Amino acid sequence: MTNADVARVFEEIADLLEIKGEEAFRVNAYRRVARTLADLTEDLHAVAARGSLADLPGVGKASAQKIAELLETGTLALRRELAAEVPETLLELLRIPSVGPRKAALLWKELGVRSVAELEAALAAGRLAGLKGFGAKSIEQIARGIAFRAQSAGRTRLGDAWALAEELRAALAALPGVERVECAGSLRRARETVGDLDLLCVARDGPRIVEAFTHLPPVREVLAAGATKGSVRVAVGAGSIQVDLRVIPADSFGAAWQYFTGSKEHNVRLRELAVRRGWSLSEYGLTEGERTLAARTEEEIYAALGLPWIPPELREDRGEFEPGAVPADLLTERAVRGDLHMHTSASDGRHSVEELAAAARARGYAYICVTDHSQSSAIAGGLKVAALRAHAERVRAAAARICDLTVWIGTEVDILADGRLDYPDEVLAELDFVIASIHSGLGHDSAANTRRTLAAIENPYVNCIGHPTGRLINEREAMPLDVDAVAQAAARTGTALEINANYYRLDLKDQHARRARDLGATLCINTDTHSVDQFDQMRFGVLTARRAGLRAGDVLNTRTAEEVRAFVERKRRGARR
């Protein structure tokens, strides 16, 4: 079993215990273990082999024994016992946004609802009305959640698909006779979710490569296998995804790569440009009658059609064909100089300041800001005021010892239901950089959500709004928010809006980031790192920014440390006037 598999079992145990009605402390103990295991970068088998399971944060002797049981047998007695008492199908209800364990328990015990299908039937029959805790607003949210779940079905998050595609690409590239392997499709365009994966390769023996592809270790089912194309299904997360491989001649690789990358709408526009010239464009090349005009590279195809090469992230037919629409200096990951949102073991992170600093320095960053949670985020180990001040002293002491990297101390402060912040201004004034985020009460009232966010933006000590719409891709829809009003206020006050690079969030999403930039707001791309390996997710934030057409100048953390300090000081100075 993988770390993720074991973490999922502990999370399910916590859910089943809560549905059953067990004490909160017992439920939360299993959730803490699940969180630790999900964030662990070392393989659990290695931890178990050296006898260190009980040394993991939140993992005591009893939990360590359960982890060992799972690793050795693939199953757990407690999980089986709970499944005998509580219908396992109730776990499916928990995948519906706004249905938590307590509501699932009520639906089961009061209405006999055990599955999503039964919940839909109960909704249609009006049986939820009058059930304690299920007001009209709650019932509407559940209906919306069911619709959202159906909409998300069959889509894989970008980060999960990316990791799988890289694994498969590397395996193919290692096969004898393979000259080149590339990813295409919506993955290459960096869409936040993908429906399938497309791989293209150049190889001398197509049938042999396709045959080898269908026998790669991750493959669970072979759908088709021919001379130049193979289709398989591969497990990813709790589901699976179709992966198609095409073996392409080198002379037409560019045409195929363009064809299998562009969105349908983008490719239609390209073909229209070709037809106007009396040409034809297909996966085999740009042709005039029997004569091939361009095929080997994407660049020559775009050039023949009078266009600059269009980066894959922009191939959505959202204005990229207009003159000057493609920035020559579209943002790259190399332009990012630092990360301003991360968590240490002082709250719910897994590493010390020194460990985060070492990882940031290895990436070539010039600065980082430590932003642990505020006091209302109890489940995330949020810091009371005294604990924050002590933590700030430790971070500043560590910063004085760290060479070649500027280390700032900040916070991710909760925006409370009434728009107030979780720390008083005099505490925020002691910090170098403040991110304000909504973590609770993410309702469907756009006006209320917007008021909360605007109140935080107006605070002179808030420098960035974290993951502004609060969404979790495939798990929780974005809260309604007047993005225009938020962006305009952010631009006026000198407050950045975050593109949270964690691939569960990617929030702001690309369309919102583009709109915010157009309204004059500064964006900031952060990883919200809880473990050093999550620094790698910066790529997904940058890809989202590229889909938005952002340049380096649009993004706060492409600036020098001195420029970031000036950004903070301008807002504080403006408030003092």
Mean pLDDT computed over 440-456: 92
How much is the pLDDT for 312?
Answer: 98
Q: Which two tokens stand for residue 342?
A: 């991360």
How much is the pLDDT for 229?
Answer: 96
E-strand ranges in 277-397 read 280-282, 285-288, 291-294, 338-339, 367-370
Q: Which of these ranges, 236-240, 348-352, 545-549, has the smallest mean pLDDT?
A: 236-240
pLDDT tens digit sequence for 403-429: 999 999 999 999 999 999 999 999 999
How much is the pLDDT for 2?
Answer: 78
Residue 134 within any structural domain of the chain: yes
Instruction: State how far the alpha carbon of 543 is from the alpha carbons of 257, 431, 504, 539, 558, in Å.
Output: 19, 30, 14, 6, 15
Q: Are residue 520 and residue 458 in the same domain, yes or no?
A: yes
Q: Are residue 497 and residue 436 in the same domain, yes or no?
A: yes
Q: Dihedrals φ, ψ of 465, to 5°?
A: -100, 120
pLDDT tens digit sequence for 267-296: 999 999 999 999 999 999 999 999 999 999
CATH code for position 17: 1.10.150.110
**Residues of the domain holding 214:** 156-247
Model pTM?
A: 0.81
CATH code for position 109: 1.10.150.20
Q: Tokens 């910063």 belong to which residue? A: 399
Residue 101 within any structural domain of the chain: yes
Q: Are residue 74 and residue 99 in the same domain, yes or no?
A: no
Residue 222 to residue 190: CA distance in whole angstroms? 26
Q: Are residue 433 and residue 538 in the same domain, yes or no?
A: yes
Task: Using the Cα atoms of residue 95, residue 100, residue 102 and residue 108 in order, give the sign of their dihedral.
Answer: negative
Q: Are residue 101 and residue 177 in the same domain, yes or no?
A: no
What percentage of the chain reaches a pLDDT higher than 90?
Answer: 77
Q: Which of these ranges, 297-301, 440-444, 488-492, has the smallest mean pLDDT?
A: 440-444
Residue 275 within any structural domain of the chain: yes
Residue 499 to residue 228: CA distance in whole angstroms? 40
CATH code for position 509: 3.20.20.140
* Banded pLDDT at 263 (limits 50, 70, 90): very high
Does a cis peptide bond (omega within 30 degrees of 0) precede residue 76?
no
Q: Are residue 397 and residue 337 in the same domain, yes or no?
A: yes
E-strand ranges in 66-187 read 156-157, 178-183
How much is the pLDDT for 40?
Answer: 72
Residue 145 to residue 94: CA distance in whole angstroms? 10
Which residues lie across from 292 on neighbouring strands?
287
Residue 466 within any structural domain of the chain: yes
Residue 326 to residue 355: CA distance in whole angstroms? 39
How much is the pLDDT for 46?
Answer: 86
Q: Are residue 134 and residue 74 in the same domain, yes or no?
A: no
Residue 323 within any structural domain of the chain: no
Given a contact cutoff of 8 angstroms between Cβ atoms, the answer to whether 554 and 517 are in contact is: yes
Q: Are residue 275 and residue 172 in the same domain, yes or no?
A: no
Mean pLDDT computed over 22-33: 88
How much is the pLDDT for 99?
Answer: 87
Residue 245 to residue 231: CA distance in whole angstroms? 6
Whether 467 shows a pLDDT value over 80: the answer reads yes
How much is the pLDDT for 152?
Answer: 58
CA 426 to chain centre: 33
Residue 320 within any structural domain of the chain: no
- The count of domains in the chain is 5
How much is the pLDDT for 226?
Answer: 95
- Cβ-based neighbours of 284, under 8 Å, separated by 6 or more: 252, 255, 256, 295
Residue 446 within any structural domain of the chain: yes
Whether 577 shows a pLDDT value over 60: the answer reads no
Q: Are residue 214 and residue 260 in the same domain, yes or no?
A: no
* Banded pLDDT at 151 (limits 50, 70, 90): low
Q: Are residue 359 and residue 380 in the same domain, yes or no?
A: yes
Q: Are residue 512 and residue 467 in the same domain, yes or no?
A: yes
Rounded to the nearest 10 degrees, the angle between the axes of helix 483-493 and helix 510-518 is 50
Residue 99 to residue 92: CA distance in whole angstroms? 10
Nearest to 53 by CA among 40, 67, 41: 67
Strands 464-465, 406-414: pairing is unpaired
Residue 142 within any structural domain of the chain: yes
pLDDT tens digit sequence for 68-107: 999 999 899 999 999 899 988 898 888 786 788 989 999 9
Mean pLDDT computed over 183-205: 97
CATH code for position 286: 3.30.210.10
How much is the pLDDT for 145?
Answer: 80
Q: Dihedrals φ, ψ of 181, to 5°?
A: -135, 135
Mean pLDDT computed over 469-487: 92
pLDDT tens digit sequence for 360-374: 999 999 999 999 999
DSSP 478: P
Q: Which of 153, 172, 191 is the last residue before a domain boundary?
A: 153
Mean pLDDT computed over 322-344: 95
Kindly report the average pLDDT of the chain as a whole number.
93
Q: Which two tokens stand for residue 553?
A: 């100048």
Residue 27 to residue 16: CA distance in whole angstroms? 9
Q: Are residue 115 and residue 220 in the same domain, yes or no?
A: no
